[in-house]
Chain A
Amino acid sequence: MSNWKLINTTFIYDGTFDGFLTIVFDVYSNKTLPKQICSKDLYIPNFLDKTLYINTNYEKSKRVFVGIEKNICYEALYNSYNAFLSNEKDKDINILKYLCEGFELGPKINNMLTNSYVYKVISMRKRVLFECHRLKGLLRFVEVQDNLFYASIHPDNNIIEPLGHHFINRLPNQYFIIHDKYRNLCFLYNGQTYEIIDSTNMNIPQFTESEKLYQNLWKAFFKTIAIKERKNPKCQMQYMPKKYWKDLIEMKY
């Protein structure tokens, strides 16, 4: 990758993983690295920037998707997909470099932890998966209709899709909505299929009668189960940071 051409252009794309893989395809075939990559929603136009909009091409993205696993390794695909969900601004360019270098070096790319973009990609992956794991526990459903459950979340990273899959496996017969309030995204599941939609104009539903009962039971349990002789709010806060409290029934008094 060291002898590739560097161009002073920012690539703009639609923000989807397919869109990103399309860029990877173009960059790798032309051996030209852009200065920056940015999703169109996040891009703030700047008088000095040269930009190029890259249209998502599913044919290309599919080839890259398959190619990563075949020519680098499964771990590389796993790393890039999860890092892609990160909220870091320069995630795209780092994953791009990681993949391009990976195509040249093969699986040994993952050992090169002292290389800055490899390290970056791996730590983004870790942070994303960590938050996802955390929310698998911290998410709270409320029953808004018979067998329809609603949960609001405020995650740092865009983890609604892996999170949704976790709950489909766990509660396959329960209809549910997971609402990412930062991104205005909703994961809807109707017992068979799911979709992710924009929720800017959604009304937040009210909950059922029996719901109140279980919330109170849960709060009572939560209060009782702590041993007062061992009180340790610092430890509690460390595992359950304040930023998640607004969606936690037991932390709202």
Chain B
Amino acid sequence: MEILDKLTILADSAKYDASCSSSGSKRKNNTTGIGNGNFAGICHSWGADGRCISLLKILFSNSCIYDCKYCINRSSNSIKRATFTPQEVADLTINFYKRNYIEGLFLSSAVIRSPNYTMEMLIKTVLILRNEYNFNGYIHCKTIPGSDQSLIDKLGKLVDRMSINIELPSNNSLKLLAPQKEKANILQPMSYVSNNIKLNKLDKNKFKPNFVPAGQTTQLIIGATPESDLKILKLSEGLYNKLNLKRVYYSAYISVNNDKNLPMLSSPPLLRENRLYQADWLIRFYGFKANELLDETHPNFNNILDPKCEWALRNIENFPIEINTADYFTLLRVPGIGVISAKKIIRARRTFLLDFQELKKLGIVMKRAKYFITCKGKYYDKVYKFNQSFIETNLIYQERLSIPNKNFEQLSLFDNLSPTKEDTIKCLTGSL
């Protein structure tokens, strides 16, 4: 088979994985090598779906021995199958890298022959890159559930990031849709990797090999199974707190297979995915807890308002907030004020007290924030009533105005609809 055909088949099979980030690694180059890590990550292109392309994202093989119901590569599907050789993947990576198409490699694979055999193929590929080509660019590798710990260990010392996709957010769903995978097979290697990362950080030996320096990530499929947003968010929170995951990716389910256990969706639930990313962001950088954003009486997010607005309206007694005295984390809780804006405010008010005029000069967007703040004790001009229903009506009105064709599944209220945008850039632009 021609390399072009292989690439087309194996990129097509890999495209549903949301992760593409190349951030978090400071791997240095040496004088004879090629490539380095960029801590902030670099996006190289954007596909027609608006998702960033940063890594050569391919499967090593799509000839799977398993039959997970939701997956395009399941053994019972009749699709074109292909398998690379380690040398082919390494050559592609190096040649793409030299032309600056990519930041590195994201290699995943279906299970061929056995989990261990598959792992060995991945390791072989990475070994060629690191040792023969002296490649110091970014490598993200999937761990194959059910493979030996010694193999995980070996791979972990070579790559920058590792991931195991949980995919289905509960045990029941997993049993139903991925009967050959076991929860233990997924969570065990995850905690093993997480422990090793911790130990590696404690080890002060300068010459030790780094172990997964950019951390591990996972992915959850949204909308294939009945779990609520609350349940999903709690799972993510647990993964961040207990297993120290770098990222949890959410991937709106796309109907690729017909199965009685799967819903038939006409379009992927992109808005829901977007809401989860927004909430995930609030948990990781804004000090919110899953319990604050949702509870048993409100287990799912709102179509029109983003999670922070929704939270603020439900907790209106915490507002208004005085811009000139509120601390950093309180400022961050104001809808429309993000990390950058909060920092700007704190910096600027050191020299003098701020009013609305100055906030505008600082480039703070008032659209949402104006309902929740005061400057030197005064409300914003046109905000003459401070009560929940007034604010809610206005916010909803505004959001509707800003959506031209009322097509909620397509809209991008948050400019990071694409889950793949780099963390740091997100940090700079993502104001909620």
Give the B-binding residues of A (Cβ under 8 A).
Answer: 108, 111-114, 119, 133, 136-143, 149, 151, 167, 169-174, 214, 216-218, 220-236, 238-240, 248-250
Listed by A's residue number, 24 A-B pairs whose Cβ atoms lie within 8 Å are A137-B44, A137-B45, A141-B99, A143-B99, A149-B99, A173-B34, A174-B98, A216-B4, A221-B8, A222-B45, A225-B47, A227-B49, A229-B267, A230-B49, A230-B268, A232-B417, A233-B48, A234-B50, A235-B46, A235-B417, A235-B418, A236-B49, A239-B421, A240-B45
Query: Which residues of chain B have C-beta atoms less than 8 A from A249's C-beta?
Result: 101
Convert B92-111 into 0s and 1s, putting 1 for each residue whose CB lies closer than 8 angstroms to a CB of A.
10011011110100000000
- Whether B347 lies near A170 (C-beta < 8 A) is no
Query: Which residues of chain B have C-beta atoms less than 8 A from A133's C-beta?
Result: 40, 42, 425
For residue B256, which residue of chain A has the nearest CB?
A: A229
Query: Which residues of chain A have C-beta atoms less than 8 A from B32's C-beta?
Result: 173
For residue B57, which residue of chain A has the nearest CB?
A: A225
Tell me if B's interface is mostly helix, strand, loop or mixed: loop
- Whether A239 lies near B11 (C-beta < 8 A) is no
**Bound form: Cα–Cα A151–B46 in Å:** 19
**Bound form: Cα–Cα A240–B417 in Å:** 15
- Whether A224 lies near B4 (C-beta < 8 A) is no
Q: Is B294 close to A, CB under 8 A?
A: no
Interface residues of B in 83-123 (CB under 8 A from A): 92, 95-96, 98-101, 103
For residue B9, which residue of chain A has the nearest CB?
A: A224
Query: Which residues of chain A have C-beta atoms less than 8 A from B347's C-beta?
Result: 111, 113
**Of the residues B48, B95, B350, contact of A214 by C-beta under 8 Å:** B95
Chain A nearest CB: distance from B207 CB in Å?
22
Interface residues of B in 56-74 (CB under 8 A from A): 56-58
- Whether B362 lies near A113 (C-beta < 8 A) is yes
**Bound form: Cα–Cα A226–B8 in Å:** 12
**Bound form: Cα–Cα A24–B12 in Å:** 57
Convert B1-30 into 0s and 1s, putting 1 for each residue whose CB lies closer than 8 angstroms to a CB of A.
001100110011011100000000000010
- Whether A250 lies near B34 (C-beta < 8 A) is no
Query: Which residues of chain A have C-beta atoms less than 8 A from B14's C-beta?
Result: 225
**Of the residues A111, A114, A139, A239, contact of B50 by C-beta under 8 Å:** A239
**Bound form: Cα–Cα A226–B101 in Å:** 16
- Whether B15 lies near A138 (C-beta < 8 A) is no
**Bound form: Cα–Cα A244–B362 in Å:** 29
For residue B267, which residue of chain A has the nearest CB?
A: A229
**Bound form: Cα–Cα A151–B100 in Å:** 10
Query: Which residues of chain A have C-beta atoms less than 8 A from B348's C-beta?
Result: 111-114
Query: Which residues of chain A have C-beta atoms less than 8 A from B361's C-beta?
Result: 113-114, 119
- Whether B53 lies near A222 (C-beta < 8 A) is yes
**Bound form: Cα–Cα A248–B8 in Å:** 20
Interface residues of B in 313-371 (CB under 8 A from A): 344, 347-348, 350-351, 358, 361-362
Query: Which residues of chain A have C-beta atoms less than 8 A from B53's C-beta?
Result: 222, 225
**Bound form: Cα–Cα A239–B344 in Å:** 24
- Whether A113 lies near B344 (C-beta < 8 A) is yes
- Whether B49 lies near A231 (C-beta < 8 A) is yes
- Whether A170 lies near B46 (C-beta < 8 A) is no
**Bound form: Cα–Cα A81–B67 in Å:** 58
Query: Which residues of chain A have C-beta atoms less than 8 A from B267's C-beta?
Result: 229
Interface size class of B (residues with CB under 8 A): 35 or more
For residue B418, which residue of chain A has the nearest CB?
A: A235
- Whether B100 lies near A227 (C-beta < 8 A) is no
Query: Which residues of chain B have C-beta atoms less than 8 A from A108's C-beta?
Result: 351
- Whether A230 lies near B51 (C-beta < 8 A) is yes
Query: Which residues of chain B have C-beta atoms less than 8 A from A172's C-beta?
Result: 29, 31, 33
- Whether A226 lies near B48 (C-beta < 8 A) is yes
**Of the residues A149, A225, A232, contact of B15 by C-beta under 8 Å:** A225
Q: Is B303 close to A, CB under 8 A?
A: no
Chain B nearest CB: distance from A124 CB in Å?
14
**Bound form: Cα–Cα A145–B49 in Å:** 35
- Whether B4 lies near A214 (C-beta < 8 A) is no
Chain A nearest CB: distance from B32 CB in Å?
7
For the complex with contacts A112-B348, A140-B99, A239-B46, 12 further pairs of A-B residues with Cβ separation under 8 Å are A133-B425, A151-B100, A171-B98, A172-B29, A172-B31, A217-B3, A217-B96, A224-B7, A224-B15, A230-B254, A236-B46, A239-B43
**Of the residues A114, A136, A173, A222, contact of B47 by C-beta under 8 Å:** A222
Q: Is B35 close to A, CB under 8 A?
A: yes
- Whether A224 lies near B35 (C-beta < 8 A) is no
Chain A nearest CB: distance from B204 CB in Å?
27
- Whether B49 lies near A226 (C-beta < 8 A) is yes
**Bound form: Cα–Cα A64–B54 in Å:** 40
For residue A136, which residue of chain B has the nearest CB?
A: B42
For residue B350, which residue of chain A has the nearest CB?
A: A111
**Bound form: Cα–Cα A172–B34 in Å:** 7
For residue A224, which residue of chain B has the nearest CB?
A: B11
- Whether A226 lies near B51 (C-beta < 8 A) is yes
- Whether A236 lies near B50 (C-beta < 8 A) is yes
- Whether B410 lies near A227 (C-beta < 8 A) is no
Q: Is B36 close to A, CB under 8 A?
A: yes
**Bound form: Cα–Cα A108–B352 in Å:** 12
Chain A nearest CB: distance from B236 CB in Å?
21
**Of the residues B34, B47, B417, contact of A226 by C-beta under 8 Å:** B47
Chain B nearest CB: distance from A7 CB in Å?
29
Chain A nearest CB: distance from B205 CB in Å?
26
- Whether A221 lies near B56 (C-beta < 8 A) is yes
- Whether A142 lies near B44 (C-beta < 8 A) is no
Chain B nearest CB: distance from A145 CB in Å?
13
**Bound form: Cα–Cα A141–B51 in Å:** 22
- Whether A137 lies near B42 (C-beta < 8 A) is yes
For residue A108, which residue of chain B has the nearest CB?
A: B351
Query: Which residues of chain B have C-beta atoms less than 8 A from A233's C-beta?
Result: 48, 50
Q: Is B270 close to A, CB under 8 A?
A: yes
For residue A230, which residue of chain B has the nearest CB?
A: B49
Query: Which residues of chain A have C-beta atoms less than 8 A from B254's C-beta?
Result: 227, 229-230
Query: Which residues of chain B have C-beta atoms less than 8 A from A226's C-beta?
Result: 15, 47-49, 51
- Which of B44, B268, B412: most chain A CB closer than 10 A? B44
Query: Which residues of chain B have C-beta atoms less than 8 A from A239's C-beta?
Result: 43, 46, 50, 52, 421
